[in-house]
Amino acid sequence: MKKRPHEIIVTEGTLDPYVYFVKRGTLNVVRTSGRKVEVLTELGVGDFIAEMAHLGKNKVHSASVMATSEVELIQIEADKIYEVLAANPVWLKAMLNNLVKKIEAANAKTGLT
């Protein structure tokens, strides 16, 4: 699936039935508060999108994700994510690395190391 700059992939507070793997391009993870939009982080090749909503307890997207360049994504049905990861150890490693980066970023924001 391809997206152009400024196109939204997932929207904060919603849930769609997919997890996405970034094959090409860059995206911003953003959170909106009133009229203020805060960029939380940038994603790129090898990152996953929407895995937290499907693997965690929240079950909705905690932020929106917007393309900042031409983007190519692999769309994975969320209910098959465990099968896909089991069959693709490289993707499993990428997802684990992605989750560790998110934990480290959260720890840095709160002063934990």
Burial class, 40, CB count within 10 angstroms (exposed 0-12 / middle 13-18 / buried 19+): middle
Average pLDDT value for residue range 75-80: 92
Identify the CATH number of the domain in which residue 75 sits: 2.60.120.10
State the virtual CA torsion across 32, 64, 94, 70 in degrees, nearest 10. Answer: -120
Does the structure show a pLDDT above 70 at 113? Answer: no
Secondary structure letter of residue 96 according to DSSP: H
Average pLDDT value for residue range 7-12: 96
Structure tokens at 80: 């098959």
| pLDDT given for residue 47 in this prediction | 92
CA distance linking residue 24 with residue 35, whole number of Å: 30
**Number of compact structural domains in the chain:** 1
Query: What percent of the chain lies above the pLDDT cut of 70?
Result: 97
Domain of residue 45 covers 2-110
Q: Which amino acid is at 5?
A: P
Does the structure show a pLDDT above 90 at 59? Answer: no
Structure tokens at 91: 């993707």
Residue, of 59 and 17, whose pLDDT is higher: 17
pTM: 0.85
